[in-house]
A and B are shown apart, each in its own frame.
Chain A
Amino acid sequence: MKFSTDTAFPLVCHPERSESPAQRTIRAVEGPLRLFPALCSHMNRAHRMTLAILREIFDESAYARFLSRHQLPPSRASYAAFQNEHQHGNARRPRCC
């Protein structure tokens, strides 16, 4: 039970009784439809997060940070410089059995 807000007087109305069958159908699908953008947004966030994790694991983010730190454009020379800088740290990074 809810108060209607589109009239000047607050009326107590029963949606099941006042709605036409078409409106009822619309109402029935409205809920899931409203959920869809939310679901898409969650999936989009999960996708972006997964990509960010992979980019970090595979050093793509480290390369992007290197470019922005040194204000370099992406190029072979920049990547070679990045690898040389990271060679020392990466080779010392322990990996578990």
Chain B
Amino acid sequence: MAVLVRQADGGCAARSFSPKYSPEAESYMPKMFRVLLWTAVSLLGAMALATIAFHRGEQINAMWLIVAAVATYAVGYRFYSKFIAAKLLAIDPLRATPAERLDNGRDFVPTNKWVVFGHHFAAIAGPGPLVGPVLAAQFGYLPGTLWIIVGAVVGGCVQDFVILLFSVRRDGKSLTEMAKSEIGKIGGFVAYLAVISIIIILLGAVALIVVNALKSSPWGTFTIAMTMPIAVLMGLYLRRIRPGKVLETSLMGFVLVLAAIIGGQWVAQSPSWAAVFTLTAPTLAILIIIYGFAASALPVWLLLAPRDYLSTFVKLGTICLLAIGIVAVRPSLHMPPLTRFADGTGPVFAGTIFPFAFITIACGAVSGFHSLISSGTTPKLIRRETETRMVGYGGMMAESLVAVMAMIAACVLQPGVYFAVNSPAGIVGQTPDAAVTTISNWGFPVTAAEMSSLAHAVGEQTLFNRTGGAPAFAVGMAHIFSSSLGGQAVMAIWYHFAIMFEALFILTILDAGTRVGRFMVQDALGHIWKPLGRTSWYPSILFTSGLIVAAWGYFLWQGVKDPLGGINSLWPLFGICNQLLAGVALCVATTIIIKMGRVRYVLVTLIPLCWLVAVTFIAAYHKVLNPNPRIGFLAHARQLEAAGANARLIFNDRLDAAVAGVLVILVAVVLIESLLEWVRILSGTKVAEIREAPFVMTKLALEERG
């Protein structure tokens, strides 16, 4: 592959340098064989995509989804990412990265590409790619799966890759800093506001998922409650007994968590203990708010760090297990490719496929949050520019595959069961009989006895109205695992393992997110009054922690009290925020591409940017102004007002509408500012000036060549 290489005189020349890209390296495999291989992979992918898109009437095997995804990712990585690396970014294998130039053994450390890949994947993979696809499965498996695969290859992977490379070329600068320096001060300010809004809404939405997963579930509540003393024990063990042995401690913590899962069964069966751990949604919400505050204010080493390690350990293990389970069982998908809810009347969340499927699935396809990680720790570890392709583009592909697996976990359930678990009582009815009648009338037969038997098999009292996505994912995962490992006898263990795994993920994000938000608020308030910016000053810690917890706690409380099931409004709001941040990231990327003089390739980022702008702006319009009270916040407020409902609920709807509206306006400002900058540069009224770090020749290339 040809790359642009800077010459000693400051000019550039196209040449092949890296062994990775050289024709000699490629000649190890005869050209004819390579052509045949990639033709076969492309045909296989096309056939798998055609099967999932056009197959009607009969169930299809989940392996078609896996084959379609893997083949598309392989072709996308081999051809599209290589094209971006060569033509658009002109990756320079001779250019030293900040990890090499600024190596301080602490933040900047040149690290092996596989190690960086693992590190990056562990940071970007959270509960989002698991929850979003489960919720979007209400439209059938087809829209969500296509969006996950195509969105990742054309949008999400591109965003992660280009932002990572641009950050590497700017000494590992963050997205907000790049927005400020490349677009303008307003760009930086909006990026900051978008980030803090996402954090707050995300925390409220994911906390609600935990509440819905644990309400009236003594087993789940006990297991999650036990992870807190286990984390403290791990913290003390790490600090006092075996300092630095994190892997060993995490393994110990994992064994203790497994013991807590098994112990939870005993708790659920004991009448006295079950009563202690059977909590209502408002009680759980209050406990989670208190936990968030404590985690933000306590020393990191005591609770936050060990929980983070434990959560990462469980996350990596479970994702591997899920992949093995799906490949071993090769289950059939019971969900049809398209359901009747494509018209926007879905019970899980209201709204048509366009734009709501694309808002609901964010992290598995395109996630603005990833741009924060691609411009956070990862660029400070990258050893060579050529490695950004594998880490940025490849890391997002792996995340997208996790989302496909989550879609499979949701779609292996009988559709009637899926809707019974995921639909709020406000839609399907308060009693089991009312719920099964409503759902069966939709054409998805399910009986109360079937649901009762399933609840009994997973060790729960009921599985009706367990909204939020986590319980449905847990039932699907337990179904897959129990078919391959242990049979029906251990289904309850697998179910609670899945619940524990998601809740652990989410609580880790709650405590870490609250802390990140607290630092951001401290940074901002420090401009108003300096002492508030001091991160170790306790009054400031308590005040800013309280502010952040109150912000997401408000959204959580609102979700708990919402009669339509709060996830209905909170998750789309979170999706809009996340995709808007992706819009900001792609604006930054497009501006830099234009400044680099690569306008002919600008469509690489401009197409996903236009798509995201269309999706988010239309979704925000519907969420604010749609006359259907199940979709539009203002219509819902009017309906509540007419019915003489609680003034707080009406206020909540108006607040949600205001948040969505303000975010869209802010991003529109960034978009307009970027557009003006593009016009100024392209018309020649402004000199394109990119703010890359000066070129320094790498020493690593010579070392690698011996």
Contact = CB atoms under 8 A, between A and B. Distances in A.
Interface of A: 49, 52-63, 65-66, 68-69, 74-76, 78-80, 82-83, 85, 87-97
21 contacts: A49-B114, A54-B118, A54-B247, A58-B312, A60-B245, A60-B247, A63-B244, A66-B106, A87-B300, A87-B301, A89-B107, A90-B305, A93-B516, A94-B369, A95-B123, A95-B126, A95-B373, A96-B128, A96-B373, A97-B128, A97-B574
A20 to B, nearest CB: 37
Contacts of A65: 105-106, 109
A87 B115 CA distance: 21
A75 B238 CA distance: 11
Given A56-B115, A74-B244, A95 B239 contact: no
Consensus secondary structure, chain A interface: helix
A96 B126 contact: yes
Nearest to B195: A94
B206 interface: yes
Contacts of B118: 53-54, 56-57
B106 A85 contact: yes
A95 B508 contact: yes
Nearest to A55: B247
A94 B312 CA distance: 14
Interface residues of B, number: 59
Contact of A83 (B239, B316, B377): B239
B163 interface: no
Given A65-B105, A65-B106, A97-B369, A53 B123 contact: no
B123 A69 contact: no
Contacts of A56: 111, 115-116, 118-119
Given A57-B118, A91-B512, A91-B516, A97 B363 contact: yes
Listed from nearest, the 10 A-B pairs whose CB atoms lie closest are A79-B243, A53-B118, A97-B128, A58-B246, A94-B372, A63-B244, A96-B369, A56-B115, A96-B124, A69-B105
B243 A94 contact: no
Contacts of A55: 247
Interface string B212-234: 00000000000000000000000
Contacts of B363: 96-97
A66 B109 CA distance: 12
A90 B122 CA distance: 14
A94 B512 CA distance: 8
Given A53-B114, A83-B239, A97-B369, A60 B244 contact: yes
Interface in B463-522: 508-509, 512-513, 515-516, 519
Contacts of B126: 95-97
Contact of B312 (A57, A76, A97): A57
Pick from B124, B246, B367, B535 the residue with the most CB of A within 10 Å: B246
Pick from A75, A89, A92, A94 the residue with the most CB of B within 10 Å: A94
B429 interface: no
Contacts of B250: 58
Given A65-B105, A83-B239, A97-B367, 4 more contacts: A60-B244, A69-B105, A96-B370, A97-B509
Contacts of A95: 123, 126, 308, 373, 508-509, 512-513
Pick from A59, A74, A96 the residue with the most CB of B within 10 Å: A96
Contacts of B377: 93
